Structure 1
């Protein structure tokens, strides 16, 4: 009897000793079992079936409805069981059936002929037999796999031996490096032991030198402190002596001042009495000098006035500077022309604001101190400032005060520039001297016009109206200049020179159209400052102008029938009678301080604007 070497049930499937299944049911059951095994297996399967189980034999297909029959051949059984009868053999085969397996008539035979004697007369196999070609291919494949496996094994052995050799080399190299490191460390220890005394000795010498140097410096510092103390004591004693001398000198000056005041008061009455007589005498002497000078003039010469201001001191310096600049080649040097353009650009951009005046004056001072010869810079500065009056615009009267602020600030650092500027102004406008040329002293009218400052336009003399407008601009610049005051900065041609100019003007110059316009422009710009400084004395001069000068203008107007004189007379009379000199001219105070001026007294305003932290220089 054949018994199964397996438990009676596996995963709930028991062996059925009497299966009653068809062949199709068996195939489907096997397929389901394979799917379950593939899903539950944790190891990859050797192959996957791609085709469903089946038999291609027609006889097998015809008997598929019959039960599965398993035959076991006699030569597969042990010799001890060969004598078992056919019935016992059938019962053993029946015991091998599992659940749903039906074992039909399965017989074994000792020869292949018994297989041909099956009930159906045909042979049915679960798997096809392999052919000769397929068997040979399988053997070749197996041999190839064995050869590849052998080659891989040989390669692995070679790599292992090479790796062991490299490891041995690395171990030897590492051992040599360790020995070298130990040798170097030993050598360094020997060197440390050898040089340690030398290093200690050098360190001791260095510390000794440092200590000696510190002691020396300490001695020097102590000596300096003693010297400073002695010097301070000497200065203190000297200051005490100087203070005593100053006190004695001050006492002496006070005594002299008191005596001088007494003498001044004593002589004041005599001076007042002699003032009018001296004034009349000076007028007579001036008229006589003019007559003598007109008598000695050449046929084409110019007749200057006999006043001592005919050739001001600045003219001589101006002529010397012109000659010097010509030697330097001002007109032909491009660098000098570029320098002049820089000066002109700064002057043209001056506006009536504090910031503009501060900035432009600082830039012009820096240009004056540039490597360019200062004589050239001064001459160009004077020329560019005066040229602003040649073509006056509507805002010229307001900006002219700003120009004069810049002039005063620049000339305070370069005093020669003031003399050259005045000389240039006197050259283009003789009434700023003041001086006067008589037309009778010239041969032609054109020569006279050129002498008093007329310019040629396209070969013709400019019109009187154009000349008068330019003359007024020059006089406005001069009037604004003399009245400009900057706290902490000296104006080398200030209000005193303006007062002297007005006195000489009234004493020397005759009353005509040109002198009247010059006087009107000067009063409009400087009248406010002159009245604030001289008060009643200025009013007396205004009375002289109103009575003597204006009456002379009226007489000249009636004599010549010139209507332009009437306009000038009306302007001067209106200025005096309406007390316009009491009103501060527009533009005299630079913009940026007008709002604060409404709330702060004028003295405080001046201190705030010209404080040291806000000065232009």
Structure 2
């Protein structure tokens, strides 16, 4: 009998077997049914006896019947393995066969029933050789299936490994491609940025060239405009210079006429004085360091708390004395002449104000006063304010002479309400006046005239009433008292204003600026002091004026005149103070101040604020 190839049973309508059991379990019934099917296929019936009963199987196990043992040599195994290797490695799939659970029951009754129901088979009736063949076939089949499964698993594992390697290789290749792509993108970005930078640079270069061209065009236009403006300014300056020269000539003529008129008036006054005083002294007393004057010792009672300033008629030859409504003017001839000349110039300029709009003058005056109030104690501030004031003075909206008159009025008006730091601001104002006078010389005469109008002791000059009836309201106003609401101001207010005017006047005459000449310098201050001591009487008002002047200018006079100034101080100590003390308690305060000035030698100390600071403290600490 030849061998029959057994296949895994599966439904015929299934094209592909999806799974197979690598170690199928075949029951005896399954084997019998399979043999029957083979018999039907090959046209022969293979009779297979029914399985032996359990009792018989036990006997066989006890040794009565020895089981069939199939032995396979090593050569058979090797040949079998060679044949398996040469066979197709395709996986043979099939369904799994399993014994029913009832078959493994240990019940004897169940075994008997199964034995009775089973059909006797010719295979079971054969000897044990057939049984061994069946076992051998079954074992070979199992080995073959297992080997096929192992081969399939190995091929699958190999395929999986190859696929994994391919996947890894593909991933690495994709990563390399991604990196190459990124590198290419970076290069493209750099090229793109470089192109953008080049385009932007070109655009900026074009814009810069256009801007430079426009700037050059604008500069040329500005230069052309500046040239045109300069030409116009020069032309206007020439016209203004011509007008100024004409005005100067006219003013000079007016001043000359005024001087001539003043001289004529003075000549008439001198003739009247010579006729009135038959015993007038012929030799004129000159200003010396030992000059003294004889003050009247007769005191008169003052009305309304105002001090009487009468002196005796013993006036030295050369002093100018006149009578007008019982009022005598006591001053030196030179002082009165200078005052007359300056007041004539002042009146001549003031007469032109009527033709100017008063609103324009007021606006101009407010601007000047604002800058005058801002004058500080530094050189930088003083020069800046002087420059601004010069520009305002030269403003074409007002004639130059009117502007100078307005400036003189505003700068002297600082004495009306002096502040606590007036001494420092007085020196700074003196600098401003000298700086302006260096550019506009005519301003000094108007400033001095304004001083004389505000305080007669800057001349120096004193008015004395001949009797009590002459001490009218007009007399006090001529002395310098102010009338407010129909009443004459108090003596203290009047003396405060006299003190302020004398301080500003003394600060002006001693101002010394490097590179700038003071047209009214310290020599005029020395002449003022000599004329004051030779002509004016010793009373409360003159003492206040003298003390204020010495406090501001004494240090500078000592530096220049030295021993001569010390002789003048001796005259004040030996002549002026004793005459002043005879006035009684009313002059006690001013006597104490003069004695303190002489005893403490205050003239050796430089007044505070005389030297201006180079710069402000805030800038100094920066």
Using structure 1 for the length normalisation, give the TM-score: 0.49
Larger radius of gyration: 2
Which gives a bigger RCO, structure 1 or 2 (Cα 8 Å, sep 6+)? Answer: 2
